[in-house]
């Protein structure tokens, strides 16, 4: 937590936030989720595991990694790379989902909208108590 104010560091400890997701290498990222059970969307959004992935960006990370929101957390293949790709794109486009590349889910994140990879229609489900959007043809695992 070098480089941040002591008040902020105290708040991060108090809230038990995990490390910033963009600062983790692939091995550390996998270790943060090792031994966990449940759905991958819930694990990604759990700020105690890693901080910085919210609801809409978890949908995008899972879309790019081709995993459905309720897939088992043990299916971490591709998540480290895709999380970097998605979050860096969000930073580049000033966190405006509608400005992201057309190949991303977020500009199409509406039930019934066509998949950006033209494979199916976007579907909506519940995962981790939140709305989750996915393409049933592109993303494998449970809905």
pLDDT digits (tens, 9 = 90+) for 81-100: 888 888 888 888 877 777 88
Burial 3-38 (b: 16+ CB within 10 A, else e): eeeeeeeeebeeeeeebebeebeeeebeebbeeeee
Distance separating alpha carbons of residues 136 and 66, to the nearest angstrom: 10
Angle of CA points 88, 125, 35, to nearest 5°: 65
pLDDT digits (tens, 9 = 90+) for 36-84: 788 899 999 999 989 989 999 999 999 999 999 998 887 666 788 888 8
Domains and CATH numbers, the chain: 6-134 (1.10.8.50)
Query: Widest CA span of the chain, in angstroms?
Result: 49
Instruction: Determine contact, residues 126/138, Cβ cutoff 8 Å.
Output: no
| pLDDT for position 124 | 96
pLDDT digits (tens, 9 = 90+) for 102-139: 999 999 999 999 999 988 999 999 998 999 999 999 99
Instruction: Please say whether the dihedral angle defined by the alpha carbons of residues 12, 14, 15 and 21, taken in this order, is positive or negative.
Output: positive
Residue 80: count of CB within 10 angstroms of its CB: 19
pTM to 2 decimals? 0.83
- Measured between alpha carbons, how far apart are the two ends of the chain, in Å? 37
SS3 134: strand
């Amino acid at each position: 937590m070098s480089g941040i104010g002591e008040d902020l560091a105290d708040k991060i400890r108090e809230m038990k936030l995990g490390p910033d997701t963009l600062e983790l290498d692939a091995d550390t990222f996998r270790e943060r989720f090792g031994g966990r059970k449940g759905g991958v969307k819930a694990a990604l959004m759990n700020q105690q595991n890693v901080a910085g992935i919210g609801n809409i960006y978890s949908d995008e990370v899972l879309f790019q990694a081709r995993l459905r929101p309720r897939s088992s957390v043990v299916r971490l293949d591709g998540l480290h790379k895709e999380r970097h790709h998605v979050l860096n794109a969000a930073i580049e486009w000033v966190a405006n989902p509608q400005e992201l590349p057309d190949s991303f889910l977020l500009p199409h994140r509406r039930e019934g909208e066509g998949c950006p990879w033209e494979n199916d229609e976007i579907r909506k489900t519940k995962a981790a108590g939140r709305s989750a959007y996915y393409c049933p043809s592109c993303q494998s695992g449970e809905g």
